[in-house]
Structure formats: C-alpha cells, structure tokens
Amino acid sequence: MDGIRAPHPTTLSFDRRNITIYQTCMTIRKLGLGMFGCTLFLLVMALLLAGLIWKFWPKKSAAEPATQYASAQVITSAPAPSAATAPVPEPTPPAETADPPPVQSYPAQPSLLSSVLGTVASMTLKVYPISPDNPSFPLTSGGAHAAFVEMEKNPQQLPRPLVIIGGYEDPGILTTLGMQYFQLITKDTKLISISVANCRDFAECRARVLEEVNIACGNHDPNWTAEVDVIGISLGGLAARVAAAPSRDPATPQRLRIAHLYTLSSPLAGARVANLGITRFQQEIQPDSDLQKYLNAVDADPKYEITSYVHLGDEMVGQENASIPGRTPYWLPNTPLVPLLPHEQMMVDERALADIGRRLRGETPYTLPKPAPFPPIAEPVKN
C-alpha cells in the first residue's frame, strides 16, 4: 500500500487508555518519521513558527535622517509675481556641491533561528559538555538505526511476552512508542503496555502491573504471574522491581515473574528529584526510604537479570542512581541534542532500544558483558 509495509502479526495488549495514542504514533511512523524524527520534527516546526512570527511581526520603521529634507523648498502663501513685473534673475555661477553626508552602516542582525540555536548550544554545552564514547557500548545512533532496519526485515518471535511499563505521569505516550518499535522487529509475540500514570504510590503500581499481566496472559496462579520480559521506563523500572519482590501484604502474595528486566533511566537506587520529598513517589524513591530498605533487604540480589541504561548528566534520576546498588548501568554519551533533556531523551534513544532488541531476540548484544565505569565529569566552560 503506497510502499508502506504492514506491521508483523503481533498480539497487542494495551492499557485501555492507550489506543488513541497508539493509532496516532502509528500514523506518524507511516509518514516515515522514527522516534528521533518525531522529536526533531516538532522542534523544527516550533522554530519555524517562531521564525515566521519574527519575520512578519509589524516593526517600527527607522526614523528618517534630518538631512534628507535640508534642500527642500519652503512654500509660502505670498502671491507669485506677474511675468511683466518679475525681475529677470542674473545668471549666477554654479555653487560648489558639498560632499553628501556619510551613510552609516549597521551590522546585519542574526536571524531568530540562529540566535536561538546558538544560545541553546552555548548554554547546554556549558552544563553538559559533549561526553566521551562508552568503550563498553560502541554503538552510534546511525548504527542503531541500521540495526533496527535489519531487525525489521527479519522479525523474530520472542520466547515470552514483553511488558513495557511507563514512567511517572506518562499517560502512555512513551510506552506506545516502545510498543511501536518492538512490534516492528517481532512477530507472534504478546506485547503488553502498562501505564501507571494515575497510581499514587508503588503499592498501587504493583497492583496495576500484576492485574494487567494476568489479564493479558490469562494467568490464575495466586503466587506468580506468567514469566515475562520487562522494559521499565523511568519510574516503571522500579515499579517492575517492586512487583517482582516478595509482597509486604500477606493477603496478596502474587509476584511478577521476570526473566529479564531492562530499565531506562530508572530510579533503582534513588533519584535527585526525590530529595524534594513532596509527592508520595518522591518519598518512596529516596535511598533511605522504607521501600528501598525493604527491597535491598529481601531482593538485593534478584534471581532475574537486570540490564540498566542511562544518559550521562541525567537531571532527574542521576546517572549514579540508575542501577541497583553496587552495579553500574550502561551509560550513553551525550550528543549535541541530548544535553537539553538527558532523562527524557533516554526514553527514545535508539541505541538502547537496539541493544535491548538484540538481547530479546537472543542475538549478540552491542554492549560488552561488563559496563565501563562512569567517565570523570567535565568542568563547565568558563567565560
């Protein structure tokens, strides 16, 4: 159909609030825009709109120089003399012409677009300088996209259902983008999207995750859900870990059976914004909270695999908090656009998604077995 290939047959199980968002994202995908393309497209459109407003907004005209009217004739109301009485003017020698006043030149003003991009680049590079490459994750964005194209050409059936859990107050946008990506590289696989946007604490997150997985997989075991792989986006990663840990309520002993947990900038060991302690989530995420102490006591060494990813300079979680205590996540180097919002960009970073896709399909991942330590933080550039 007009060169657009239909998605591979994949069973989708959505949180019921995500259908419209999914349809919208699939429409964007059919237009040829990937995840980075959508973000870049919106940014470019916003800048173009600002440029048009700047160009056509009415501007005050510059004041005319006073010398422009120096040679203008002065018209009076005196009657004009008749031809008979009017004296014949004597010829006068031509007056010496004075040199015209020098024309002042002003430097060309930069366009709004160049001003905005220059200011943003200057500010972001001072806060988050371009970071070095990760020796344990030698994959570029271009290589990640090429990997996605290859996987899309040869979709594989995954060994178990895949669950994608969204982050804090995400109504399902990021989970839907993830579903879109993995739908195109898999076939005959159950994909389960779960939003925890309206949950008030991790107890409600746990209940929501278990309920959605049980409905999608048709499970009735009171102790365990069906075995699944999980991708946790931001807060969703910690929600998955809570759902997999032993229950603190004897009346609800069921746990999430995870084979492999992949986390994207998840606050597994705390979060920088949690220091505010305003919301219930922030209080529970703090490293010394009762929830974190409980997880470290009963689930310090999970029986399932955990692979964590984070951008350097994550402003929300903090790169040091993106894995369980004692472990280092796979960190991703910043690019000229990523420093704007390292935490948010992590959710759609095709490098991490390509590595997860290879792992889910049982193929050799791009990451090395042992994550490299964090590089030293570069000092901001001082004027």
Question: Domain with 347 in it: what CATH number?
Answer: 3.40.50
The reported pLDDT for the residue numbered 54 is: 64
* Paired tokens of 338: 């990523």
User: In this predicted model, what pLDDT tens digit does every residue of 74-87 receive, in sequence order?
Assistant: 444 444 455 455 55
In a domain, 3, yes or no: no
User: In this predicted model, what pLDDT tens digit does every residue of 248-262 receive, in sequence order?
Assistant: 999 999 999 999 999
Q: CB–CB of 141/355 below 8 Å?
A: no
The reported pLDDT for the residue numbered 18 is: 41
Count of CB atoms situated within 10 Å of the CB of 13: 18
Give the model's confidence band at 97: pLDDT under 50 very low, under 70 low, under 90 confident, else very high: low
In a domain, 2, yes or no: no
Give the model's confidence band at 66: pLDDT under 50 very low, under 70 low, under 90 confident, else very high: very low
In a domain, 289, yes or no: yes
Q: How far apart are CA 202 and CA 243, in angstroms?
A: 9
**In this model, does residue 226 exceed pLDDT 80?**
yes
3-state secondary structure of 210: helix
The reported pLDDT for the residue numbered 145 is: 92
- Is pLDDT larger for residue 119 or for residue 251? 251
In a domain, 96, yes or no: no
Each residue of 81-112: b (16+ CB within 10 Å) or e? Answer: eeeeeeeeeeeeeeeeeeeeeeeeeeeeeeee
Q: Can you say how many angstroms the Cα of residue 256 is from the centroid of all Cα atoms in its chain?
A: 28
What is the number of domains present in the chain? 1
In a domain, 240, yes or no: yes
Q: Domain span at residue 300?
A: 12-24+128-360
Q: How far apart are CA 118 and CA 112, in angstroms?
A: 10
In a domain, 306, yes or no: yes
In a domain, 377, yes or no: no
In a domain, 247, yes or no: yes
